[in-house]
A and B are shown apart, each in its own frame.
Chain A
Amino acid sequence: MKPNSLDYEQQLKQLKKENRILTKKLQRSQERQIQLEETNQKKESLLKRVILDLEESRDVAEQRTIKLSEALAQLKTTQEQLIESEKMAALGNLVAGVAHEINTPVGNSVTAASTLAEETTSFTTSVMAGQLKRSTLNNYLDLATEASEIILSNLQRAGELIQSFKQVAVDRTSLERRTFGLKSYLSEILVTLEPQLKKTPHQVSVTGDETIHINSYPGAFAQIVTNLITNSIAHGYPTNQSGVIQLDIRHESQQIVIQYQDDGCGIESQYLNNIFEPFFTTNRDGGGSGLGMHIVYNLVTQKLKGTIKVTSQVNLGTIFTIVLPLSDF
């Protein structure tokens, strides 16, 4: 019987231990229950609040988005208006240039014509008084010939000027399509820029294939070339040294390449990525609007469906390469 009673004692001991453990666990589990409930209540409250806060900030964000889109739309309108007024300002400059340019031949003609008129009056008086000498007649005839030559050549010059201005001005305002010789048209644009270029020591020339004729928007070309040249003059030659600006056109497989090159001070690499952005200028104090190159970019990429790239080396110059697809012409 002895081993059995030992076994029994062992079992009893084990049962007593288990009983102690279970009692403690029960007590713990009640505590744990309360703790868990509180923890969960806190979590519920926290999550509810975070959701509320998120909803609030979503509403705020939505309102801000609406306001921002409104502001953006307004900015776009303003930008378009600015671009339009920049175009008009350029046209205004053109008109002023035209007036100035035509003033000289017309002025010369007026001077010659009034001299002729005066001489004719005094010649007529001599004839009426019957005092006409041969020498007076010869002098008058010489003067009349010279005056009419002056008047004729000056009026012809004025006529030529008006012809090219007319074409450019019409192209600029109408932006209509027509067929034209690219090189001769670019040369005509340079003529219209003569009033501005005359005040500077720079040499501007057009080289390349004369046979290229395209059906496109000449006004766009006029504005692109004007803006590029104006830009070079305003920013490329700060110390008034004389520069060489060259426009070269060539045919390349299915494309037309217009390379515009100046030998000015160049553009620092940090600005190269920005120069086509609207309102980007390094010369706002000097009156730069920051729209000129943006207009160039828009005309090349949107109106002419081409691409424009810029490369530049400081102190060596800047090259703009405009590539236009031939299929479009």
Chain B
Amino acid sequence: MFKVVVGHSNDPDSVEAVAEVLEQCLESLAEITPQAGILFAAVDFEHSLILQEIYAQFPDLELIGGTTDGEISSVLDFQQDSLTLMLFCSDEIEFCAGVGTQASQDSLAAAQAAIKQATSKSKQKISLISLCITLPDGLTSSGVTIIKALKQELGSNLPIVGGLTADGGKYHKTYQFYNQEVLSDSIPIMLFSGDLLISCGVNSGWNPIGKKSTITKAEKNIIYEIDHQPALDFYQHYLGDLSPSIEYPLAVFEPDNKHFYMRAPISHDATQGSITFFGDLLQGAMVQMTEGNCDGILNSAELSMQEALNDYPGTHPDAALFFSCTARRQILSSRAEEEYKFAKKHFNAALPSCGFYTYGEIAPLESHGSTLFHNETFITLLLGTK
């Protein structure tokens, strides 16, 4: 048995919203007690209060979650300033949550702490872990560093999927949830053990534009120079006086590789001319400006879903999770609600699904390949059992 239910409320009032979400969940659960939950909440809610209410209803729940820049679910489709909860019940799959804090000081130690906490609750062998979902803070440390730390502990073959928490486009402070705790600068994880079937789809819809240049000075996730000029000059060549922002990422071509991945800027230093990105960059790699447009973005959401459906090993999935980049929502603007509509073209509308707009996406390019950090993508994760 593997049952997944979803609740979603767009009431901006925290008490009312959580009550509505729980009411929907209880109705769908029909007396079954859920073991685990994933919560996506807009940043303006009173998160502690919401978690208290959830735990009053389900005291033994294993929960992770985080703040967002938009929420998606099979209940209310696309929303902003809303609250959505996905609950899992199963007698064959085991769910264990964990969290590591102070990730910016030592990502590896934080990842180790989270995994240790989760596995210590498990009655299953570590080798039976089949999926890790994570919702880390991307404003305090680089997404690439966090994934590297998790992979080091979990092995590079375990699929790790998730997104960096967001704060409604303010880029000031994001929050993560672990059980009833509201944290920042942390790495919450949920380990799924047992015979879980999963598949992933990753697609972006952004395209390189303009001339190729070389990163001539970079350290971790900061670029200092491109073609021996301040990195900011490269951006200003294209954007004029406007600041680098997440919807204008760089396409990165590593040496001898025709394929590119994207790195989106978080912030910049006008005096140094340097730009900080959500993921690490390689000195010597070629970069190019990129451009994303509505049609390309909507099309890519559909492709991501199709890719996941094609790869799905079972007959039909029991749930879907989506992690979509905040830049996509920003460019789509009033058409943002179309993205989920494009994605769900290919599956039964009743499939419980839930997702959020992130500051960076995490997923393997192939369902069982090594996990990578992405920007500007729409990630589909399908879950089910035999």
Contacts and interface: CB of A to CB of B under 8 A. Distances in A.
Nearest to B244: A42
Contacts of B211: 53, 57
B247 A39 contact: yes
B242 A32 contact: no
B209 A50 contact: yes
A205 to B, nearest CB: 58
Interface string A33-65: 001101101110111011001000100000000
A21 B242 contact: no
Given A50-B209, A53-B210, A53-B211, A32 B240 contact: no
A17 B9 CA distance: 11
Contacts of A46: 209-210, 238-239, 248, 289, 291
A42 B242 contact: yes
B318 interface: no
7 contacts: A17-B11, A20-B12, A25-B80, A35-B169, A36-B330, A39-B247, A45-B242
B331 to A, nearest CB: 6
Interface of A: 17, 20-21, 23-25, 28, 31-32, 35-36, 38-39, 41-43, 45-47, 49-50, 53, 57
B69 to A, nearest CB: 11
B195 interface: no
B14 to A, nearest CB: 11
A25 B239 CA distance: 30
B370 interface: no
Interface in B7-64: 10-13, 16
Contact of A50 (B10, B210, B247): B210
A21 B237 contact: no
B333 A36 contact: yes
A21 B333 contact: no
Contacts of B240: 45, 49
Given A24-B12, A50-B238, A32 B210 contact: no
B245 interface: yes
A38 B327 CA distance: 13
Contacts of A57: 211
Given A28-B80, A28-B81, A46-B209, A21 B10 contact: yes
B348 interface: no
Contacts of B10: 21
Interface string B200-227: 0000000001110000000000000000
B296 to A, nearest CB: 13
Nearest to A49: B238
Q: Considering the complex of A and B, which 5 residue pairs feature the smallest CB-CB distances, nearest first?
A: A24-B12, A45-B240, A36-B333, A46-B238, A49-B238
B257 interface: no
Contacts of A23: 12
A53 B237 CA distance: 10
Contact of B248 (A36, A42, A50): A42
The residue among A25, A42, A47 with the most chain B CB atoms within 10 A of its own CB is A42
Contacts of B210: 46, 49-50, 53
Given A21-B12, A24-B81, A49-B238, A32 B333 contact: yes
Contacts of A24: 12, 81
B334 interface: yes
Contact of A39 (B13, B81, B331, B334): B331
A27 to B, nearest CB: 9
Given A25-B81, A45-B238, A45-B242, 9 more contacts: A20-B12, A21-B10, A25-B80, A39-B331, A41-B242, A45-B239, A46-B209, A47-B291, A57-B211
A49 B237 contact: yes
